[in-house]
Structure formats: C-alpha cells, structure tokens
Amino acid sequence: MKTSLDRLLHARTGPMTSAMVLRPADFGLGRVPARLNPAATTRSICGFCSTGCALQIHLNDLGEAINLSADPTYPINLGMACPKGWEALAPLAAPDRATAPLLRNTATGALAPVSWERALAALTSNFKRIQQEAGPHAVAVLSTGQIVTEEMALLGALAKFGMGLLHVDSNTRQCMATSHVAYKQSFGFDAPPFTYADFEESDALIFIGANPCIAHPIMWQRVMMNRRNPDIVIIDPRATETAQAATLHVSLRPKSDLTLLYGLAHLLVIRGTIKRDFIAAHTSGFEEFSAFVREFTPAHVSAETGVPVATLERLAEIIGTRERVSLWWTMGVNQSHEATRTAQAIINLALMTGNIGRPGTGANSITGQCNAMGSRLFGNATSLLGGYDFSNAEHRSKVAGIIGLPPSVIPERTGYAYDQILDAIDRGEIRGLWVIATNTAHSWINQSRAREIFGKLDFLVVQDMYTTTETAKMADLVLPAAGWGEKEGTLINSERRLGVVKKVVRAPGQALSDFAIFRLVADAWGCGEFFQAWRSPEAAFQILKDLSRGQPCDFSGIRDYAQIDGAGGIQWPFPESIRSRSDLGENRERRLFSNGKFFTPDTRARFFFDPPRPMAEPPNKDYPFLLMTGRGSSAQWHTGSRTDKSAVLRKLAPTVLTVEIHPDDAAELSIAPGDNVTIRSRRGHAKAVAVVTSTVQRRQIFLPMHFAAVNRLTFASFDPHSRQPGYKACAVAVSRA
C-alpha cells in the first residue's frame, strides 16, 4: 500500500483524480435549506476592523438577515457600532458581486462565466503545469487578514502541505508584520498583552502613530469611558481627530519616533523613575540599553524630532509618574523603514517602567483587519500553524501529527515575504499566483511597478466577492467568494478575543465560502483525502484547538462556537484547565504577563535596540513635500470594494481624492481650498482636491489610502526585520493643476 506521503506527492505531480472529488453541491450550492438560522435574532462579529464589535442580526422567517443593530450585551462594544458596522449588510447586495467563476478566454481576452468544474480544472491544470515547468515553488499565494481563522488555516495547510508551495504571504504583511516580529523577539511569542478594559483602567494612554477616532472608533469610545482622569497623549505628525481630542498632542517630525522614544528612555533613567526591581527580575539587556540611550539627550532629541524639550520632559513625567501607563501603537509605527525597532522601543518603555501585566498598562499593538490576529497565528506564512516555527523539527512533527500528515510535507523554512514574491514574479521565478481577499493592485506600495509585475504572470487567480476590484480585473480566473454574513467561522480581535460570525445571508449565484472553495481545490488537486477532517468550519475549529494546545495562544478549553457566542467572546489563553472553573464570568477579561513571566526560554523579556537611520526617500529640492498616507474616515474601508457599495457610507466620506496641505504652503503655491492639485513623485502622479488645513505641518501632505492613485506615488521601502512596507513617507512635489 502506498504511504500517505507517496499519495500526497502523487497528488502534487500527478493528473487530477476524479474518484472522490467534491462538488459545489456538497457545500449546499443550489439547495435551499429550510432556515439559515434557527433564531429570530442572532449575534455576529463585525467583519471590518479588528475591534470585534458584536452586531445583532435580525432575521426573517427563512432565517435571513433583514436588518441589524449594535449588540448592547457584548462586552466590547456595549451597544455601539461605527458606520461600517451599521452598514455591514449593504455591500453584500452590490450589483458587481462575483456570481459565477470567470475564466479569461484566450481568444477574445475577455473574462467569461464558466462552471465550477471548469474553473477548478483551469486552476489545477495551470498551476500544475507551471510547477512542472518551473518547479513546485513557482506558484505563490497572497492571502488576507479578512477571512475566518478556519479558512486561513485550511488555505495555509492546503497551499504548503497539499500543493507543495513555499511562498505564501498575506496583506497582514502590509499591516501587522512589524508587531509580529517585535513581540516575538521581545516577549518570545507574538502576544499582544492587553484587554480592552485597559483603555478604561489607565492613568495615562500614549498613542503612537494611531488615529483611533477614525480607524478604531469603538475602542476610542472605550477610552472616553475612562473615569480616572487620564492623560491622553497622541504622538503623530498630524493634528488628527484623535490628537484634537487628546490632552497632549506631540507633533513630531515624521519618522523620528525611534529617536523620540530613545530620548524618553534616557530621560526616565536620568529622572530615576524606572522600576529597577521589575527590570532585574523579569528582563534582560537593560544595562546595554540604558548605556545606548545615553547619547539621546533632550537637546539632541529635540533637534531631531522637532519636539520642544519642555514637551519631552512633560512626556517623561507622565510615563514615569503615573501609576498605570499604557502605550498603544498602529500604522504610524508599523509602516516605517525602522518599524520593528520602533515598536520595540515602545515595548522597552513599558518594560523599564514596569508597565506590563497590571490593569491599565502594556505595550499594546492594535491590529487592523477583523482577523489580522488569526492570520498571525494560523496563516501558515511567517509562523507554522498555531504560532510554531517552520525551522524547528519538533514543531513540524507536532503539527504534522495533529493534522495527520507526514512531517516531511512541512517546509523547513518560511517562504518569501510579499515584496519578495513580487520580485520573484518580476524575475520569472514565480509564474502562478493565487490572490485571496486582498486587492493588491490598489493596496500594494508603488503600484506602477506592482501592476507591471502582475502582467508577467502566466496565470493569476483572484478569489474575491467582487469582479470589479483592480486586481480581479487583471485575473485569468476569478473565483466568486461568499463574504462576511454569508458564511461562518471565528475571528480573533485585537485583545485576542475569539468571536463567531454567522451565515445570515445566502451568497449570490454560484459564489461559495472560501472554506468550500479551498476544499474543492484540495479535491481537484488530488489531495482532498488529507483534509477529510476539515469537514466544516466548526470541525476545522476543533483542529485549531488541538494546534493551539500547550502554546501561549492555547484555546483548547473552548468547547464549541456556541460557548464562544454565549460567553461574549473568549480571549486566549483559554486552556483546558480553565474549563473546570465553572464560572466563565470570572475569566471574562484576560491580560498577559501578570506573573512577570514571558514566553522566552528564560521567561525574561528582552530589550532590543539599534541606532536610528534616515528615511528612505527624504524630500529634496525637486520633491520638497513629504507624503503621508492612511485612513481617511470611519466610513471608508481600504480599497473601497465593500464600503463604496453602501449609499449611506458614500454620503459620509469624500467621493474624490482630497489632499491635506498647510495654509502657508497652499498660499505659496497659490492653491485655494477646493482647487485641483497635482501631486507627483518619482514614480507617478495623482490629482486631488485641496483641503487647506493646519492639521498637517508645513512641507507635509496627507492622502487617504482609499483611492487607487495614492499608491502610484508611494516609495517601496521596507523594514529589514518585518519586511513591512513604509507607506507613510515619500518625497513628492505639489502644484496647482
């Protein structure tokens, strides 16, 4: 009898098997179940941002959604939701939904509807042909932080263990790669330590490169519920909505955060407001760090950052003297040329002041997408499923044992990062690409090059809810995906809380859940028998539990979806030992490191640091402005594929690209409010309408990322440790159009 490895290898190279192939009908396509959902109202977690608000979905007699409201009983949002949450059902009914697989006709060059059978055959035959011609790793995957964890894990396992691919990455690289690496190095595991109660329990909240009023509005509501009269500090070059609502806005020079944070560390040492006992008992590397920061004198730091010495002193006083200090960061930190060390400089501040493991403290990275945390743990990209290491033989055999595969199918190294995948396509090394739930041709940095590179692919598969995204339009094959609300599974939010999303709407036409599509691909590929245990998302969830057992992210104590739902979400860790404590309420909030023990081999957290480096493309005479990009409004989500489909959300945000420019610069360039402006970088140009405002500093402009033209301007620079792109700094010229 053939071993399972032989069979798997045969599946990778041999022809399609048809004996036991699943059919779309096996996933309910074409069948109308009596009721989608048994209740009259059911709870589901919002599928936009990482806050993880619960929505109550109101259902008709068929169990289908007719409306929704914010869930007043859920411990996160307490009856609140932002405009995207309230409008979450609208994008599902858009006319440009993908309702059938589309295959590019080689004769006419147009995309035309085909059956699922035809589509699956096209995917497998083209990808297998490319693998035969150019090697198994000539096909790559770009995935997402916006599908349920069960889907991410199935895709990761299928791609790497079933199809024999190596290069699998996702848009989480654009977003959370920095936090992942920073935590892993400093704490020994990618583990954001906080719980949302910390927003309410802090005496001081320091936000670095974060604009929660726009990007995480319900988290900001939690900050507003703080009754401790907290200092709220925003460190951001722009006077954002959040900065204007803060008690102190530190308007630093862009990309000078690392210098600022080292300067604060130095001031804390001088002032003697560090926690020597905590440092000695629970950390390593502090002496070297404290010697290193000695040169970051207030005068030097002030000159480099543009922050007055008095403000530095005030900040040091707040951090050094308030009892509970929490530090929060997002993309202003993660998207930079020295992002990982900047994140770790924040972690260092928390460690040296003992602000970790207690209520209202922590070095806290807020995630972005609804399931960014799920993709960090189960995307099978940077870490092996469940946060393990590809390079560790013991880890490989443990994971293989749980999934029921021979360990030899697990690669011994991580594959290329997102940018390296694109470079490999450019070189002709990668010729097939499968893109799932991300819109690369809009969101990737430096688009002119990215699109040219996509043009070099032999076969591009795009699996999306819509046929009209910039990326879907370039595809050779479009696979129609069900979206949020049309399928089930779990999401993991910023505070490590698992929540359940429900199927409350029937997907249009032939669209199938990503889970079903991955199962169908596995079968068509010939490796379906290895994923038999992944019968449904909830069956897959049981496998994820087993993978998490004994890891810092252990949630093996969770019984099933119903328990998660009934408990108001469950944070990891939730090992089996917790299960015996009957009262879940007692364990409703979980923060990490209350015992001072970290996940490193010696249980000590580590100080990491490096000298600051200049930004990659500073402004000069020809390109005198610095361009920053980010979120424009609470009604707009990324590339707009979903939010642009809601008439309500369209009314809440500008429908044309606007540029924020300082009044003095505008006067100098004879630009009046509402004028058309041209913005040029070395790579491309964009047209925008001027918003003249002193929220930006002189010689700096801001563009919201929601318009495709923006990434035609950006400069592709990367943090060396996380390979996250630096979207927030490049040189541009501005003129009246």
The residues that touch Mo ion, with contacts defined as CB under 5 A, are: 175, 368
- The site partner of 237 among ligand MGD, Mo ion, ligand SF4, none (C-beta below 5 to 8 Å per kind) is ligand MGD
What is the number of residues in the chain?
737
Choose among 594, 572, 182: nearest CA to 355. Answer: 594
The yes or no reply on residue 51 touching ligand SF4 (CB under 6 A) is: yes
Q: What is the DSSP letter of 138?
A: G
One DSSP character per residue, 653-666 reads S-SS-EEEE-HHHH
Cβ proximity to ligand SF4: between 82 and 543 the closer is: 82
Only one of the segments 171-179, 307-315, 357-365, 520-528 lies at the binding site for ligand MGD (rule: CB under 6 A); that segment is 171-179
Q: What is the DSSP letter of 162?
A: I
Q: At a CB cut-off of 8 Å and minimum separation 6, what does 346 contact?
A: 208, 261, 327, 329, 333, 363
Alpha-carbon distance 177 to 723, whole Å? 7
Cβ proximity to ligand MGD: between 478 and 671 the closer is: 478
CB of 187 to ligand MGD, least distance (A): 21
Which one of residues 12, 43, 84, 173 is an interface residue with ligand SF4 (CB under 6 A)?
Answer: 84
The yes or no reply on residue 49 touching ligand SF4 (CB under 6 A) is: yes
Only one of the segments 6-14, 330-338, 348-356, 389-397 lies at the binding site for ligand MGD (rule: CB under 6 A); that segment is 330-338
- The site partner of 51 among ligand MGD, Mo ion, ligand SF4, none (C-beta below 5 to 8 Å per kind) is ligand SF4
Which one of residues 63, 85, 354, 374 is an interface residue with ligand SF4 (CB under 6 A)?
Answer: 85
Alpha-carbon distance 155 to 138, whole Å? 17
Cβ proximity to ligand SF4: between 81 and 165 the closer is: 81
Alpha-carbon distance 258 to 262, whole Å? 6
**Backbone torsions φ then ψ of 52, nearest 5 degrees:** 85, 40
Only one of the segments 184-192, 234-242, 288-296, 536-544 lies at the binding site for ligand MGD (rule: CB under 6 A); that segment is 234-242
Copy the structure tokens of residue 65. 């959604």
The yes or no reply on residue 235 touching ligand MGD (CB under 6 A) is: yes
The yes or no reply on residue 660 touching ligand MGD (CB under 6 A) is: no
The yes or no reply on residue 98 touching ligand SF4 (CB under 6 A) is: no
The yes or no reply on residue 91 touching ligand SF4 (CB under 6 A) is: no
Cβ proximity to ligand SF4: between 218 and 627 the closer is: 218
Alpha-carbon distance 372 to 50, whole Å? 7
Alpha-carbon distance 367 to 376, whole Å? 10
Alpha-carbon distance 346 to 332, whole Å? 13
Which one of residues 46, 168, 500, 734 is an interface residue with ligand SF4 (CB under 6 A)?
Answer: 46
CB of 296 to ligand SF4, least distance (A): 36
Question: Taking the C-alpha atoms of 388, 391, 397 and 398 in order, what is their torsion angle to the nearest 10 degrees?
Answer: -10
The yes or no reply on residue 438 touching ligand MGD (CB under 6 A) is: yes
The yes or no reply on residue 631 touching ligand SF4 (CB under 6 A) is: no
Choose among 523, 481, 459: nearest CA to 642. Answer: 481
Which one of residues 156, 192, 217, 483 is an interface residue with ligand SF4 (CB under 6 A)?
Answer: 217
Q: Is 231 exposed, middle or buried (0-12, 13-18, 19+ CB in 10 A)?
A: buried
The yes or no reply on residue 357 touching ligand MGD (CB under 6 A) is: no
Alpha-carbon distance 527 to 617, whole Å? 47
Task: Report H helices in 283-390.
Answer: 286-292, 298-305, 309-321, 331-334, 339-352, 372-378
- The site partner of 443 among Mo ion, ligand MGD, ligand SF4, none (C-beta below 5 to 8 Å per kind) is ligand MGD
Residue numbers of the site for ligand SF4 (CB under 6 A)? 46, 48-49, 51-53, 77, 81-82, 84-85, 217-218
Residue numbers of the site for ligand MGD (CB under 6 A)? 49, 144, 146-147, 171, 174-175, 208-211, 214-216, 235-238, 240, 254-255, 257, 330-332, 335, 368-369, 436-439, 442-443, 463-466, 469, 481, 483-484, 514, 628-631, 634, 636-639, 641-642, 705, 710-711, 714, 727-728
